[in-house]
Structure 1
Amino acid sequence: MQQPRWVDAATVRRSLSPDRARRLIRRELADGLDPAADPARLAVPAGDGQLLVMPSTNRRAAGVKVLSVAPGNPARGLDRIQAVYVLLDADTLTPSVLVDGTAVTSLRTPAVSAVAIEALAPAEVESAVIFGSGPQALGHAEALLAIRHTSSVTVVGRRAEAARSTAQRISGLASTHRLTARALTVDDPQVEAAVREAQVVVTATSAATPVLGDDWVADGACVVAIGSHEPHRRELGSALLGRSLVVVEDLGTAHREAGDVILAAAQGALDWDDVRTLQDVVLGRVARATDRPNVFKSVGMAWQDLVIAEQLARP
């Protein structure tokens, strides 16, 4: 058997821009891909975290991402999420390409969020707030700036030094307009005002409880929550979801993994019948709300990884 070709993280970043990834994800949804066809993610407790297995297939290829989530890793100087992706031929199921799965995750998660932001955020996004200071915070800023000329980004983190570092990196992303990026810690009283003024809010944290007030988000603003894929963890409170248009990747997956939505529904703040999918939004079956917030709760799905891996595998 021929050895699979290896695609490292640098090649991933060089080969596929965040905006190109967004367009690929959106095209798959517009062309009728069924997110519900993905099997449920397998999650197994391991070490100080979890081992996750995420397979997906389509008519062209098959693939599986194996990843670990180790909450204690950042303190060790390691990534919280580490992964490898295996792309296989659709007919023979022969492994053809191995990809740095961490880089795939870092690329596709903001790409999916950008599809939602493009449809659910105002056309003019002057200010954005990003909770979290890890790779996903930077990736979401880059994805946002590819579709909106945002002039102000506030990074909110638990550690001031990490938040400042991420804000500095974000400030260097804008090449076509002036961008001011600042850092705040989670306990800073300015956080509430920043969220109230923002047209886009991203929560990319490891928090298990809400990181912002239920009444902070303005009507018409877009909130993207990506930090959790477990039913007992949340970044957003029930009252916020209860007064928002709530969008998820897939209803079945959300029932299993989207703790923000699961807990809000269990507490009676939200009716599952009112929750819509990202495909509904992409196909124009649902329009963004202007009289209430728009919330996109993402848990990450295997089909998204496969879309990215297929593109990376092309010569």
Structure 2
Amino acid sequence: MTRLLPVDLAPAQAVAALERSLLDGVDPERCPPRSHVPVPAGELLLMPAADSRYAGVKIAGVAPANPGRGLPRITGGYLLLDGSTLQPLAYFDGAALTALRTPAVTALAMRRLAAPDAGHLVLFGAGPQAYGHLDALRTIRPLTRLTVVTRSAESAGPLVGYARTLGLAAEAGTPEAVAAADLVVCCTSARGPLFAGGLVPARAAVAAIGSHRPDAREVDTALVVRSARYVEARAVALRAAGDLVIPLGEGAIAAGEPLANLSELVRGTAVVPQGRPRFFKSIGMAWQDLAVAAAQYEAVRARETVPPSP
């Protein structure tokens, strides 16, 4: 029987798994697209992927009304299969896997895009992805300060308190806090821009991960026009990332302008200027789930085969 395994990799381990997958030859531009299936409660997403050793599929549910019921907005599960036989190997909680891999993707990109001494993180949102991004970004940059921006100061309180236990100077703030940011991360369900892009300093790096639809975005056209732009995969972003699709439709940017993908960032072939903001847009891809799920499976297997200490 396929076992439900824990999702307990450290953020740095998840980042390393993603990097290793890209360096081993995974091409994000060739990853199968996800399927979107509308259902009465929201939307189901089907995300399959395979490499030479493993295959896997995530079924994720997006239920917008769930937070009002005290339930997670993102649900689902992940089935990991043997790559040569397609026999099931393990099953993982899909929301827990997403909460680990999405911040790891951002951290992998920010390791190249954020200033080496980036200390001030402005974080939009206070849900599971916000906590995950704080933990992951602390592994790649010397964060000292956190500003949490939410619809109400009360909702920011628990995350502010958590950050203080980590030794950060943390507070709730307003969207204007981006003017003093080194890193800005947007992980919300907003359908429109969260802040004025003209406020972001040239030294800052910005990541938007909250939306995966062509008609929704978290950053405005002004930021996109000002920034050097990076994505997981060009084919996916130009089809499904509203943060880019909307400025393209407005004619503010052109499809032929430079747009490096995550593999090019990791391999060091992407140009990373320092005189303008760097913007990374992520919508989540199936190869990422596979890379992290496989690393998690191997970590559990390694723990089980090591004899206990005397």
- Taking structure 2 as the reference length, the TM-score comes to 0.93
Write the letter of the residue equivalent to 1:5: R
Distance in 2, matches of 1:269 and 1:239, equals 9
Write the letter of the residue equivalent to 2:190: A
Distance in 2, matches of 1:272 and 1:24, equals 31
Write the letter of the residue equivalent to 1:288: V
State whether structure 2 residue 194 is matched by structure 1 residue 205.
no
| Residue aligned with 1:231, SS | coil
Percentage identity across paired residues of the two chains = 43
Aligned to 2:275: 291
Distance in 2, matches of 1:147 and 1:235, equals 24
Question: Displacement of 1:169 after TM fit?
Answer: 1.5
Distance in 2, matches of 1:134 and 1:90, equals 34
Aligned to 2:168: 179
Distance in 1, matches of 2:152 and 2:61, equals 24
- Taking structure 1 as the reference length, the TM-score comes to 0.92
State whether structure 2 residue 39 is matched by structure 1 residue 12.
no
Distance in 2, matches of 1:36 and 1:287, equals 18
8 Å Cα contact 1:84-1:98 kept in structure 2: yes
**What value does the CA root-mean-square deviation take over the aligned residues?**
1.2
Aligned to 1:24: 17
State whether structure 2 residue 259 is matched by structure 1 residue 264.
no
8 Å Cα contact 1:220-1:289 kept in structure 2: no
Distance in 2, matches of 1:92 and 1:28, equals 21
Compare 157-166 and 110-119 and name the one that shifted more: 157-166
- Residue ranges of structure 1 left out of the alignment (5+ in a row): none
Aligned to 1:87: 80
Distance in 2, matches of 1:233 and 1:88, equals 34
Question: Displacement of 1:48 after TM fit?
Answer: 3.1
Among 254, 276, 279, the residue aligned to 2:237: 254
Aligned to 1:66: 59
Distance in 2, matches of 1:93 and 1:181, equals 47
Distance in 2, matches of 1:232 and 1:31, equals 34
Among 256, 277, 295, the residue aligned to 1:311: 295
| Deviation sequence 1:216-260 (CA, Å, 0-9, x none) | 111121000000000110001112101110100001111221110
Query: Hey, which bits of structure 1, 4+ residues long, moved more than 2 A?
Result: none
Question: Displacement of 1:280 after TM fit?
Answer: 1.4
Aligned to 2:203: 220
| Residue aligned with 2:199, SS | coil
8 Å Cα contact 1:142-1:170 kept in structure 2: no
Question: Displacement of 1:290 after TM fit?
Answer: 1.1
Question: Displacement of 1:32 after TM fit?
Answer: 2.2
| Deviation sequence 1:68-100 (CA, Å, 0-9, x none) | 001111111111101100011112212121111
8 Å Cα contact 2:196-2:222 kept in structure 1: no
| Residue aligned with 1:215, SS | helix
| Residue aligned with 2:265, SS | helix
Write the letter of the residue equivalent to 2:186: T
Write the letter of the residue equivalent to 1:179: L
- Residue ranges of structure 2 left out of the alignment (5+ in a row): 302-310
| Deviation sequence 1:102-133 (CA, Å, 0-9, x none) | 11100000000001111000001121100001
Distance in 1, matches of 2:38 and 2:46, equals 12
| Deviation sequence 1:197-229 (CA, Å, 0-9, x none) | 111000000000000102011112100000000
Distance in 1, matches of 2:233 and 2:113, equals 17
| Deviation sequence 1:21-56 (CA, Å, 0-9, x none) | 111111222232111222111011112311110000
Distance in 1, matches of 2:295 and 2:119, equals 32
Distance in 2, matches of 1:182 and 1:23, equals 30
